[in-house]
Structure 1
Amino acid sequence: MKGFDNHPYIPNSAPEIQAEMLREIGLASLEELHKNVPDALKLKDTMKLPRAFGSEYELRRHVEGLLGKNTDCKKNLNFLGAGCWQHYVPALCDEVNSRGEFLTGYGGEPYNELGRFQSLFEYASMVAELVDMEVVNVPTMDWAQAAATTARMAQRITNRTEVIVPTLIDPEKFAVMENYCRASVRFVRVNCNGKGQIDLDDLKSKVNSNTAGVYIENPGYLGVIEEHGQEISDLIHAAGGLSLVGVDPISLGVLATPPSYGADIVCGDLQPLGIHMNYGGGQSGFMATRDEEKFVMEFPSRLFGIAPTSQPGEYGFGDVAYDRTSFGHHREHGKEYVGTQSALWGITAGVYLATMGPRGMEEVGETILYNAQYAAKKLAELPNIRVNRFGSCFFKEFVVDFSETGKTVAEINRSLLAQGIFGGKDLSNEFPQFGQSALYCVTEIHTQDDIERLVSAVAQAAR
């Protein structure tokens, strides 16, 4: 195209090319092209861009200089979690998921299949074993979408429209669930008691004949382990609804699996299973159910199974009940719209689980429990700091209250960052009833020295 050599990165910025394209679509100016964009959304000032670079080398140096201004968890000690957690990623995970057969494959179809179907089948099989279910989907975008889909599946299965969720849920996740489900599901909030768990009396008052399900998380957003899972499941089952449980999969080496206390649909995020945080982008949601038609046919996303081929002794891997999906024959009549998913992270999680094995998952879970308990104990020894305000069992995350120090969480975190430490997530806006509290995350990556460094830094920051 004319002008391309002069503008190798944004060729259509050349005036003569712009004019040619506008003539082709019958417009006189770019402003006319953008006339439907509200004026409040339009940039009024010029963009502060550098002059055009003369070479790829100059462009690379400029971009790397910008990226170098970032700070990360390699340069700093990190105690920030709240939905995207720092866990150890075995080298094997990166080695496998960077292979061209997996990294560049869009969906993986029979005509270009290089092991992707089998890899996803193996992933689903191992996650199913981990959560004690039988059917697991090809990953969706993140836990928020998986939780929203879980609610919609319950609505379709029961033909009811209400789903009960706890008040102590991640507000961002809940906002996604509300947005995703607004056409079919109405959410009802149930209070949590002083231990941060579901208030059973309040739950009983809100379950009715229109309740499709009760959604809980175990551990919850604030790290609390729900002790009354079976009672919650019994209550909703007696009313004809479904028990829906969100779970951190890395906890299942030490915590009971959701089906053991009555869960019908399980969901969660695969990010803890061998996936880097990637500035918040390494998310990948999963759903799991029993192998019953009423559940299987309500999955909107792909399911991979194994079946014998026409050759004796040979097996193949492929889609199960493909027609139920929006990209199958159902199209606009599909259960939900499903587009690009995060299958690469499913393969990665499969590699992680195969590498760890049952004993490895138990060991990592135990290590997280020990480390988090030790960190909470040491922080609780500091004056004017209240740790684990709920007094409940917790996994990986716990709330630290700085209210009595006279400092805000923002002030504490600025002081910690100056010492090369990422402090806990500030909860003062999300849950103002907790005062100046932060959510701290401790995992298997933290050593005793790391924790003692944190305690020393917090003691200094809280003076």
Structure 2
Amino acid sequence: METRRKASVHPYIPNMIPEVQRQMLDEIGVERIEDLYDIIPDAIKMDRLMDMPPALSEFELKREIDKLLQKNKSANETINFLGAGCWQHFIPAVCDEINQRSEFVTAYAGEPYEDKGRFQSLFEYQSLVAELVDMDVVNVPTFDWAQAASTSLRMASRITGRTEVLLPATIDRDKLMIIANYITPQLSYQLVDFNDPSGELDLEDLKSKVNANTAAVYFENPTFLGTIESQGQQIADIAHAAGALCVVGVDPSSLGVLKPPSQYGADIICGDLQPLGMHMNYGGGQAGFIATRDEEKFVMEYPSRLFGIAPTIVEGEYGFGDVAYDRTSFAHRETGKESVGTQTALWGITAGVYLALLGPYGMQELGQTIMQKSQYAAELLAAIDGVEIRLQSTFFKEFVVDFNGTGKTVREIHRQLLADGIQGGKDLSEDFPELGQCALYCVTEVHAKEELETLAAAIQRACVVKEEVESV
């Protein structure tokens, strides 16, 4: 027997009045609302009412949510060493001051009738990121790095007419899941092995997998595991020799001390803007960028908006607006190469403010500070009995800590760290089982020397506790 819900009129849901519903159903020619879902197989329909608690008033709901939120601990309440795609950096106050102005505070890139300087701000952001990565063209941001990488790979496929891509085995498994979802079934992918203990791409494995249908070879520098890929030019040469494009993902905060990928063969560069003035947020604060040379074959394959500068009819006056708008899905709708809707334009403006504030010397100082502090932290941890730094290549900001020699799991050690007010790194034991009990630790400019020493002491205590228990 069909379970029916008692008819009710909800104040926050439109068209709940029975007479209005009846009029709408008659207009589209169906008897019941349920008839609209006939195409859904009965086997996957719920045939009962949901087991939901009683409805709450607005005050009761707020109180319940506040209780849940109080269980959370922010990075301000712990010493945080968790990175893995969302990193704790210092956010200058001016970033929030500018991005909360009424003329900017929306994710949309905007339209000419509502432009109050947003177009120019996005043009300036694009120019600053282009200078940072040493490319000519930068897009209005995508949602995050994973989407930027996915779109870059689809661009490469359209440019080359090929349907396979090669990805590094060191890639973040969450990012890989998004890329796979975004590019399949039209494109397929293979993972290229990495060398252990260096952490760099296995060039022989790359050569064995690249072929005449390879659209792009994608790698990251620094890698997800923090190591710096010194073979960038060799990887690009292998890709180009096979007629493929070289796509490189990069952490922009590293480019004050590392060469931009354009200088070792990258055709398309992508990455995440989050290190450039964005707070860490649960479910937000991410923004991906894509950069290429100013060549028509690249520009016309961007699905996202691009802003340019042009002279007006008034001599000496310039305006800002869309470049090749007719290539986007805004113009083509369902026949567009890729659909693009709400982007993260506000974070682009924020990144522009951050880069303008720091300038070239500030970015260099940022990179040097991160390098020095992360290297110091690694030295402290490597001095603990049973603890090693797993991958031996030079690293930036993040590094793999090997706990296999301690006889404890990462989960056990991190549980002890939390008790000491420390958020440990990302547990890699599930995503990279070949590494055993390892974790990815992140150190940035926000970490004080004393905090790094506190971390080392806490890990030392966690290991000693294990030894004492065994001796008893």
Please report the TM-score for the alignment, with normalisation by the length of structure 1. 0.92
Q: Which residue of 1 aligns with 2:412?
A: 411
Aligned partner (choices 137, 140, 152) of residue 139 of structure 2: 137
In the alignment, the residues of structure 2 paired with residue 248 and residue 405 of structure 1 have an alpha-carbon distance, to the nearest angstrom, of: 32
Which residue among 56, 67, 70 is the counterpart of 1:52? 56
| Structure 1 residue identity aligned to 2:86 | C
Q: Give yes or no for the alignment of 1:250 onto 2:253.
A: yes
Deviates more, 1:285-294 or 1:230-239: 230-239
CA distance, structure 1, for counterparts of residue 333 and residue 283 of structure 2:
32
1:279 aligned counterpart, secondary structure: coil
Structure 1 residue 76 corresponds to structure 2 residue 74? no
Give 1:429's aligned amino acid: E
**How far is the alpha carbon of 1:57 from its aligned partner?**
5.6
Q: 2: CA distance between counterparts of 1:43 and 1:441? A: 48
Q: Pick the aligned partner of 2:357 from 355, 358, 361.
A: 355
Residue 457 of structure 2 is matched in structure 1 by 456
Tell me which residue corresponds to 1:3: none
Query: Alignment partner for residue 169 of structure 2, among 156, 167, 170?
Result: 167
Give the Cα–Cα distance (whole angstroms) in 2 for the partners of residues 77 and 43 of structure 1: 48
Q: What is the aligned counterpart of 1:315 among 308, 313, 318?
A: 318
Out of 188, 206, 210, which is 1:203 matched to?
A: 206
CA distance in 1, matches of 2:324, 2:366: 36
Q: Is the 8 A contact 1:270 1:283 kept in 2?
A: yes
In the alignment, which residue of structure 2 is the partner of 1:65? 67
Q: In structure 2, what is the Cα distance between the partners aligned to 1:414 and 1:34?
A: 47
Partner of 1:25: 25
Partner of 1:272: 275
Partner of 1:368: 370
Q: CA 1:115–1:163 in structure 2 vs 1: closer, same or farther (change >3 Å)?
A: same
CA deviation profile, 1:75-106 (whole Å, cap 9, x unmatched): 11110010111111111111111111111473
Aligned counterparts of 2:337 and 2:13: Cα–Cα separation in 1 = 42
Corresponding residue of 1:306: 309
SS of the aligned residue for 2:216 comes to strand
What SS does the aligned partner of 1:364 have? helix
Aligned residue for 2:215? 212
Q: CA 1:12–1:28 in structure 2 vs 1: closer, same or farther (change >3 Å)?
A: farther
Paired letter, 2:322: D
Unaligned runs of 5+ in 2: 1-8, 467-472
Matched to 1:454, the amino acid is L
- Candidates 169, 177, 180, aligned match of 1:178: 180
Distance 1:50 1:277 in 2: 34
Q: Which deviations, in whole Å up to 9, do the C-alpha atoms of 1:113-167 show, x marking residues without a partner? A: 1011000000000000000001000001110010011111111111111211111
Tell me what 1:221 maps to.
Answer: 224
Query: What is the aligned length?
Result: 451
Residues 22 and 124 of structure 1, relative CA distance in 2, 3 Å threshold: same
Cα distance in 2 for partners of 1:280, 1:238 equals 40
Tell me which stretches of 4 or more aligned residues in structure 1 moved more than 3 Å.
10-14, 17-24, 26-52, 56-63, 104-107
Deviations 1:166-221 (CA, angstroms, capped at 9, x unpaired) = 11111111111111111332212211112111111111112222211210100001
Aligned-partner Cα distance in 2 for 1:189–1:77: 35
Q: Give unmatched runs, 5+ long, in structure 1.
A: 1-5
Q: Within 1, Cα distance between the matches of 2:107 and 2:116?
A: 9
Q: Letter of the 1:63 partner, please give it.
A: I
Structure 2 equivalent of residue 402 of structure 1 = 403
**One-letter amino acid matched to 1:180:** Y
1:348-388 deviation per Cα after TM superposition (whole angstroms, max 9, x unaligned): 0001001111111001101100111011000011111112x
Please give the alpha-carbon distance, in whole angstroms, between the structure 1 residues aligned to 2:56 and 2:166: 55
Aligned equivalents of 2:342 and 2:395: distance in 1? 35
For residues 418 and 429 of structure 2, the distance between their equivalents in structure 1, rounded to whole angstroms, comes to: 19
RMSD: 2.2
Separation in 2 of the partners of 1:294 and 1:34? 44
Q: What is the one-letter code of the residue matched to 2:56?
A: A
Corresponding residue number in structure 1 for 2:151: 149
Give the TM-score of the pair, scaled to structure 2: 0.90
> Aligned letter for 1:321?
A
SS, match of residue 417 in structure 1: helix
What is the CA–CA distance in structure 2 between the aligned matches of 1:246 and 1:395, rounded to whole Å? 14
Mapped contact 2:80–2:424 kept (Cα < 8 A) = yes
Shift of 1:48: 5.1
Q: In structure 1, give the amino acid aligned to 2:453.
A: E
Whether the aligned pair in 2 keeps the contact of 1:7 and 1:13 (CA below 8 Å) is: no
Residues 409, 436 of structure 1: 8 Å contact kept:
yes
Bigger shift: residues 271-280 or 64-73? 64-73
Matched with 1:427 is 428
Pick closer, same or farther for the CA change 1:416–1:325 going to 2, 3 Å: same
**Segment drifting more, 431-440 vs 274-283:** 274-283
Deviation, 1:69, is 2.2
Is the deviation greater in 259-268 or in 27-36? 27-36
Distance 1:21-1:289 versus aligned 2 partners, 3 A rule: same
Q: Compare 38-47 and 399-408 and name the one that shifted more.
A: 38-47
User: Matches of 2:173 and 2:107 in 1, distance apart?
Assistant: 34
